[in-house]
Structure 1
Amino acid sequence: MYARDNVADANDLQQRLPADNQVEAATEMLRMLSDGTRLRLMWMLVEGEHNVTALVTALGVARPAVSQHLGKLRLAGLVTMRREGRRAVYGVRGGHVRRLVTEVLHAASHRVTGLPEHD
């Protein structure tokens, strides 16, 4: 028995690759999460919707910076925004994004603390 007998051929693998536009969208989403302030914002939004004032207070970052980060996250399709009177209220866009943020921060926690990984 040879190792090549257990390996899918290149055509099989190629057919299972995600589409280019899907990879581009995923890359952009991950790029948005690679900024510490944006990742912290996303973590707070995973817990529920918040207005800009609450996010500014919790992060201790200037309001214009928080607004810019939220705008980028919104354009990347990671957050939603709705109006409550004059206030803008932000939330995470869907369960996939919520799980992505949660999982990446949990994985980082394992790495930092040295806790063993689990399946």
Structure 2
Amino acid sequence: MPDSPRLPHVHPGSSAAALAGLPEAARFEPVAEVFKQLSDACRCRIFLLLCHSEECVINIAAAVGMSSPAVAHHLRLLRMAGLVTTRREGKEVFYRVADTELARAMHRMIEEVMHLSCVSA
């Protein structure tokens, strides 16, 4: 990590250690990508549904009142962000939340922000 820049103002709450430990902007890209995917209300709703249920596109579309192609688009983005995984059974593809700490953290964050008490799946 490069030397910390000198701040133009010194304030009582400033911390040289915090400034020195601040990662480069490029290291935040994965975090920004996840938040970008959850910045859409429809994707958040789909994600929350999949935190508690494994569903096919047609069922998700019916549950959220959207077309199957629109839901498929949102699912593709959630999957690319590593928040959703799939399972194929014959011709049907089922979606569920990924079993990762990232997905669990996003689920907890949504619960906190919306003041929800989800029943753990």
Question: Counterpart in 1 of 2:119?
Answer: none
Question: Counterpart in 1 of 2:90?
Answer: 85
Residue 103 (structure 1) aligned to one of 103, 106, 109: 109
- 1:36-66 CA distance string (max 9 Å, x none): 1100000001113211121011011000000
Normalised by the length of structure 2, the TM-score is 0.73
Question: Counterpart in 1 of 2:45?
Answer: 40
Please give the secondary structure, in 2, of the residue aligned with 1:81: strand
Residue 54 (structure 1) aligned to one of 45, 56, 59: 59
> Given the superposition, is the C-alpha separation of residues 92 and 19 from structure 1 closer, same or farther in structure 2, using an over 3 Å criterion?
farther
For the aligned residue pairs, the C-alpha RMSD in angstroms reads: 2.2
Conserved? CA contact 1:45–1:92, under 8 Å: yes
Distance 1:100 1:45 in 2: 12
Please give the secondary structure, in 1, of the residue aligned with 2:115: helix
Larger mean CA deviation between 13-22 and 74-83 belongs to 13-22
- Structure 1 residue 18: Cα displacement: 4.3
More helix by share: 1
Larger mean CA deviation between 66-75 and 17-26 belongs to 17-26
Please give the secondary structure, in 1, of the residue aligned with 2:66: coil
Normalised by the length of structure 1, the TM-score is 0.74
Paired residues, number: 105
> Given the superposition, is the C-alpha separation of residues 23 and 91 from structure 1 closer, same or farther in structure 2, using an over 3 Å criterion?
same
